[in-house]
Structure 1
C-alpha cells in the first residue's frame, strides 16, 4: 500500500492516539494541522493513567477502548517512543489489530516521497524526511524530521529513526531497531533485528541481532536489551 500526503482515503474516520507523552502531543498537533484526520482521543494502559483529559480530549484505558471508540469508525496510531527496543509499540500494534482496528498513517506534507513507495500502516513520517525510489517501509515505523533513506532501502516493522538519520543506498533495517540522532548506515549495510545504533554512530558493516553499536566506525558495545530509553 502506498500512502502519500493528502490522499488518505480514511480521512472521515477519526484517530485514536495510543500514548500521552511528548510524541503523542506532537502527533496530535501534526495530524490536526497537517492532515485531513481528526484526533478523537488518547489511549493509555489503564495502569499508566494519570489524567482523563489531555489537550482537551479524553484519555481512555486502552483495555476498554472499543467500548467508547469502536473499531468500525475509528483508526489507531501508536504514538509512544522506542522504549525497550520498540516492544511496547509492537505489542500495542498487535493488540490493536486483534481488536479489529485499522491503523492511520501520518505523512508530513513537507516530506519528500516517491509514488512507488511501498509502506505499511501505522507509520509516522515527519517533515523534511526524504525517501528515495525503490524503497519499502513496514508497519508501525517512525521516521522523525530530516531522516534520509536512499534508494533500494528496506525498513522493517516497529522501527524508530530519530532526527537526521542518514541511510545510504541498498541498506536494510530489520524489525524493532532504533537509530539515534545523526546515526548513519553506509551503503549495503544490514542493521539486524533489535539493534540500536547510537547517536552519531556510523555503521560501515552489517551487524548481529540484539546489539548496541556505538562510535565511528560503529562497534558492538553491549546487548541492546541492557539499554533503557
Structure 2
C-alpha cells in the first residue's frame, strides 16, 4: 500500500514523538520536518530533512503531502493554531492522529488536526474541536465539549457536561468537576481542581508542596 506523505511542522520532542506515532500507527509516511526560517537550526532530524516552513510548497507540494503541526501550548496554543492555519492556506490538508490504544466512543465528534495519545478515555457525546492535543491518560467525561486550540496534558479528569474554552491549557492531574465551564484562555496548573465556572483569561497556579521540618531519614528512623 502506498502511504500518504506527511510533513511535520516543528523539530521539538513533540515532533519526534509525532513522527514515531504517524509512521507506526497510520498510513502516513513522514518525509520531512519544517520550521520557520528564523528558527532553522539544523539540516536533519532522525535522518529526515528539516526545511524552512516558508519553502514548504516548493519542496513538498500540497497535492502530494499533508501536514501536522507538532507544537505544544506555546503562547496559549496560538503558535500551533497560527502554523496550522498557514499550512491550510498553502493548500495542505491537516493530518490527525488518534491512537489505536485510546478509547474513543463511536459518537464522539472530532475536529480537524487533533492528536490523541494512548490511554485516553473519551466518553459518549463528547465534542472535540480543531487543533486539540490530548496527551496520555486523560478522562474526558460524557457530553463535554472541548473547543478549538486546547492542550490537555496527562492524567487530567474532565467530568461530564463540561465546556472547556478556546486556547485553554490543563496541567497534569488537573480535575474539572461536573457541569463546569472553563473560560477561554485559561491556564490550569498541575493538580488544580476546579469546582465552579471560571472567567476568561484566568491563571490557576499549582501550590508547591513545602518540605516538613523533619527529614525523611529521621521520620523513618533510617541510620545514615
**Which TM-score applies when normalising by structure 2?**
0.89
Q: How does 1:29-108 map to 2 (within 5 A)?
A: 29-108=20-99
Structure-1 residue corresponding to 2:193: 202
Structure 1 residue 30: Cα displacement:
1.1
2:163 and 2:115 map into 1 onto residues whose CA distance is 19
Gaps of 5+ in 1: 1-10, 217-229
Q: Work out the CA distance in 2 between the residues paired with 1:74 and 1:174.
A: 31
Q: Residues 52-75 of structure 1: CA distance to partner in whole angstroms, max 9, x if unpaired?
A: 100111111111101111111111
CA distance in 1, matches of 2:178, 2:205: 18
Contact 1:150 1:167 in 2 (8 A): yes
What displacement does 1:105 show? 0.8
1:118 aligns with 2:120: no
**What is the CA–CA distance in structure 2 between the aligned matches of 1:33 and 1:104, rounded to whole Å?**
15
Residue 76 of structure 2: SS of its match in structure 1? helix
- CA-CA distance at 1:215 after TM superposition: 5.0
Q: Is the 8 A contact 2:4 2:27 kept in 1?
A: no
- Hey, what does 2:127 align to over in structure 1? 136
Q: Which residue of 2 aligns with 1:22?
A: 13
1:198 Cα deviation from its structure 2 partner: 0.5
SS at match of 1:206: coil
Instruction: Answer yes or no: is 1:213 the counterpart of 2:213.
Output: no
SS state at 1:67 partner: helix
| Distance of 1:27 and 1:119 partners within structure 2 | 18
- Structure 1 residue 36 displacement after superposition: 2.1
Question: In the TM superposition, what is the alpha-carbon distance from 1:214 to its structure 2 partner?
Answer: 3.1
1:151 to 142, 161, 164: 142
The aligned residue for residue 213 of structure 2 is none
- Two-structure CA RMSD over aligned residues (Å): 1.2
Judge conservation of contact 1:44–1:61 (CA < 8 Å) in 2: yes
- Counterpart CA distance in 2 for 1:12 and 1:121 is 20
Does the 8 Å CA contact 2:76/2:168 hold for their aligned counterparts?
yes
- SS state of the match for residue 38, structure 1? strand
Asked if structure 1 preserves the Cα contact closer than 8 Å seen for 2:170 and 2:188, the reply is: yes
- Given the alignment, which residue of 146, 155, 158 partners 1:164? 155
TM-score scaled by length of structure 1: 0.87
Give the alignment of 1:167-206 within 5 angstroms.
167-206=158-197
Q: Higher Cα Rg: structure 1 or 2?
A: 2
